Structure 1
Amino acid sequence: MKHTLNSIIFFLLAQISFGQNSEELNRQSKDLLGQGSYKEALPILKKAAELGNAEAQYNLGYFLQSGAAGEKNEKEAIEWYKKSSNNGFNNGHYAMMMAYGNGEGIEQNSEKAFEYALKCANNDDPTCVWNVVECYVTGKGVQQSIPKFKEWVQRLAKLQNPENLTQSGYITSTRLELAHFYKDGKYFAKDLYQSYLWYLIYNEYKIDFSILKQNEVIKEIKEIEKSLSKQQIDSASKDAEKLFGRKLHNLSQLYTNSL
């Protein structure tokens, strides 16, 4: 019994040490990478990846795919991306989505690309959610489903805008698309009030668009207001915040463009 207990304690301590070693090695490799010391970082990165660190596995895959540290091996890169993804690392999901989607280092497979896009999208990654939306509406890699498309397009529109301009653009574009969908009765039942609410939400980050596009949308907003009652316009800001799930801060700039 004592021997068994000692074995269990040793196993637990070994597991703790194992985790600390992989995390510490990963940290060291990132420090070196931040300094631009790629060749010095690579063996440390490999060790962290071999010990099971998901971030290190992704980073190693990236270096093998790009050849940034002098070694280039796309097939091996995919294996590390896959391990990273299996360990739940979102960038690993993203890398596998892109690999299968573009046929980089692996045979192109739309169904597999969608599977990884969905894993990534479930972590609210804007690019992956955008891809899932596109797949459901077009039927690429998955059976076309307008109900699923509607579910995911609204999820994308309600995400927080990140600093990444491309991802923020996906989100703001989707909000404007929802305003158009409700206005035109496309995919959703025609509802000018719901359309107006999405215009108000779009307005929060309209800076993602050019001045010309912003001015065009301001005209759309003024036009749709002609079809709404004063009571609807007065209650729209609160209803938009309820729909959005958070407060709107840019309503005073509704009729002006953001420079």
Structure 2
Amino acid sequence: MTLLNTSLISKITLFLVAAMLSVSAMALDLSQTKALANQGDAEAQYNLAVMYDEGQDDAKAIEWYKKAANQGSAKAQYNLAVMYDDGEGVREDNAKAIEWYTKAANQEYAPAQYNLAVMYDDGEGVREDNAKAIEWYTKAANQEYAPAQYNLAVMYANGEGTRKNNTQAFNWYLKAANQNNAEAQFNLAILYATGEGVRQNMITAKEWYGKSCDNGVQRGCNNYRILSQK
């Protein structure tokens, strides 16, 4: 029996998804939110920016994200970074994105820590630095942020920015897989199938291939079928 596609899936890239309205904003209409924002309320400024963002007024969104971000709102700092990263309402500027991701990341905001790690990993807006990428992936991963757990596992598996360590790769793939990360489920199945970082176990490998298949990884479906024929 020969398994198909036993090469690991590579890293996930940036999540350019803005954070959403806070719970308190749900009870307020636009005029109430504007009134509070104009009084200097940082949460209202953030929520007003999100409203403009969702209403496709990027220039207004940028204006209010900046106001909230300058008051220390981590979510606003993150969303502002995303807009610079993606060139929404402003000229694309990776250096500015790095600046604002860093501010939010230093406030322990996991999505910002993850995106900052990716930028160090890829050398976008900053000199490529795998050690820095590891540092920020680890911070986000320790907050149970599944994409960071997955990318951290890939780095340990490949020996990027750190000594190759299949046991650490296994541990982080497992954490991400248990959060239903499909790529992690597939790569975890490979480790069980090949006995890298864990005792070989084809039954468990089949289970994880099946889970990755259920979550849309075709390579997982292929290997699940092969193991089912044994």
| TM class, shorter-length | 0.7 to 0.9
The Cα of 1:214 is off from its aligned counterpart by: 2.4
The answer for the alignment partner of 1:104 in structure 2 is 124
Structure 1 spans left out of the alignment, 5+ residues = 1-19, 162-167, 224-259
Measure, in 1, the Cα distance between the counterparts of 2:99 and 2:220: 43
Amino acid at match of 1:209: V
The answer for the alignment partner of 1:172 in structure 2 is 185
Contact preservation (8 Å) 2:191, 2:197: no
1:35 pairs with 2:55: yes
Tell me the number of residue pairs that the alignment of Structure 1 and Structure 2 aligns: 191
Measure, in 2, the Cα distance between the counterparts of 1:213 and 1:204: 8
Measure, in 1, the Cα distance between the counterparts of 2:140 and 2:154: 14
Measure, in 2, the Cα distance between the counterparts of 1:138 and 1:50: 39
Contact preservation (8 Å) 1:175, 1:199: no
The answer for the alignment partner of 2:199 in structure 1 is 189
Contact preservation (8 Å) 2:213, 2:220: no
Over 4 Å off, 4+ runs: none
- 1:139-180, Cα deviation, whole Å (9 max, x unpaired): 211233333223223223322x2xxxxxx4313313422441
Is the partner of 1:52 in helix, strand or coil? coil
The answer for the alignment partner of 1:70 in structure 2 is 90
The Cα of 1:215 is off from its aligned counterpart by: 5.0
Distance 1:189 1:139, change over 3 A: same
Aligned match for 1:146, one of 163, 166, 178 = 166
What is the correspondence of 1:153-168 to structure 2 with a 5 Å cutoff? Answer: 153-159=173-179, 161=180, 168=181
Is the partner of 1:188 in helix, strand or coil? coil
Contact preservation (8 Å) 1:75, 1:105: yes
Query: Which structure has the larger Rg over C-alpha atoms?
Result: 1
Relative to total residues, which structure has the larger helix share, 1 or 2?
A: 1
Is the partner of 2:63 in helix, strand or coil? helix
The answer for the alignment partner of 2:15 in structure 1 is none
Amino acid at match of 2:198: F
The answer for the alignment partner of 1:253 in structure 2 is none
The Cα of 1:205 is off from its aligned counterpart by: 4.5
Q: What is the root-mean-square deviation of aligned Cα atoms in Å?
A: 2.4
The answer for the alignment partner of 1:89 in structure 2 is 109
